[in-house]
Amino acid sequence: MLSLSSPFSVCNRLNPLLFYTRRRTISHSSYSRRFRFNRFTTTPIRLLTVAAASENNGVFTSPEIAKSFDFAAEERIYNWWESQGYFKPNFDRGGDPFVISMPPPNVTGSLHMGHAMFVTLEDIMVRYNRMKGRPTLWLPGTDHAGIATQLVVERMLASEGIKRVEMSRDQFTSKVWQWKEKYGGTITNQIKRLGASCDWSREHFTLDEQLSESVVEAFVRLHEKGLIYQGSYMVNWSPTLQTAVSDLEVEYSEESGYLYHIRYRVAGGSRDDWLTVATTRPETLFGDVALAVNPQDDRYSKYIGQMAIVPLTFGRNVPIISDK
């Protein structure tokens, strides 16, 4: 039993099935010994009691009645909260709005402890400001996670004997949207089961038409201001996906490899004039532009200023320089 000095009507509006008042008639003398009076009036503080509601209300089952905790009760209570519109911002009382945009989790994923942490922390802030009477909005959404989604859809198609390269762009995109509509709601349902008080009527997906148009508009404006340009850079290339991938998509692992020793002959020299280069990536020799040697190494310092022949390039020469 909880004693609160705030008006009961506020809590009663939150859920009339969980809260009710109990009126008592007792003598003034006995009451003064057991309860304290309001400091401003002689009216005793109203008692607020959490009701052990019956199972018939379909929303709440008291732990005192149930022998074990019924997790299904959480879902019933959450659905009741959402149906009453408690997660939507209320502008009746005015005040400065409080808005949080949820960092969108991948639509292909499932919750892990990181999600549980950010959902809990954001829900604390949202519920706190909502209880203070501020118009509060927690905007939910999911990220299309392009490469992750593509891999999942490609595996699904492979199980049906279909390859992506055999389909047109529009056909494959259509398959991705079909998959998203059928299987993409797993993480959203998990977030709801955590009790996140989001306004699900405003849920967004990063490939929604409105958001896609906004991205294009922002890109065009940045390009017109000269803030976007094209250049040549080293990129991560996926042979399977046939596309460049972000550093965030790359997972590094240590593997046993080989150290190759490759001879570079000195141009115009005898058969005994050559330099040895050791590398674990022999395929990169086609990009060689020079050979650098230690000027203190008597074996190779005598070749500084001459040219070396790059193997397998039909006689392409690169300079031999001093590594200073």
Q: What is the mean pLDDT of residues 51-64?
A: 49
Instruction: Take residue 201 and report the two structure tokens written for it.
Output: 């009527």
pLDDT above 90: residue 129? yes
| 24, 109, 215, 223 from 145: Cα distances, Å | 60, 9, 16, 25
The span from the CA of 82 to the CA of 245, in Å, is: 39
84-126 pLDDT, tens digit each: 999 999 888 788 999 999 999 888 878 889 999 999 999 999 9
How sure is the predictor about 32, in pLDDT bands with cuts at 50, 70 and 90?
very low
The HSE-up count of residue 74 (CA atoms within 13 Å, CB side) is: 12
Instruction: Take residue 251 and report the two structure tokens written for it.
Output: 């997972």
Asked if residue 322 lies in contact with residue 292, where contact means CB atoms within 8 angstroms, the answer is: yes
Instruction: Take residue 219 and report the two structure tokens written for it.
Output: 């890109």
Instruction: Please state which CATH number belongs to domain 260-322.
Output: 3.90.740.10
Q: What is the mean pLDDT of residues 269-286?
A: 93
Residue ranges matching CATH 3.90.740.10 in the chain: 260-322
Residue 161 backbone zone (phi > 0: left; psi -120 to 50: alpha; other: beta): left
239-258 pLDDT, tens digit each: 888 888 888 888 889 989 99
Residue (of 71, 48, 59) closest to 1 by Cα position:
48
Stated pTM of the model: 0.58
Instruction: Take residue 266 and report the two structure tokens written for it.
Output: 């000195």
